[in-house]
Amino acid sequence: MDAAARGCRMDVVRYKIHQGLPDVRRMLQLLTCDAIVLVHAPHDATNQLLAQLVVEVFTGLLSLQPGASIQL
Residue 2's pLDDT is 67
What does the alpha-carbon distance between residue 39 and residue 64 come to, in Å, rounded to a whole number?
Answer: 7
Question: What CA–CA distance (Å, rounded) separates 47 from 59?
Answer: 14
How many other C-beta atoms are found inside a 10 Å radius of the C-beta of residue 62? 14
pLDDT in tens, 28-39: 888 777 788 887
pLDDT tier at 6 (50, 70, 90 boundaries)?
Answer: low
Q: Where are the domains of the chain?
A: 19-67
Q: What is the pTM of this model?
A: 0.66
DSSP string, the chain: --HHHHT------------SHHHHHHHHHH---S-EEE--SSHHHHHHHHHHHHHTT--SEEE--TT-----
Q: In this predicted model, what pLDDT tens digit does every residue of 13-28 receive, in sequence order?
A: 666 677 778 888 888 8
Name the percent of the chain lying above pLDDT 90: 10
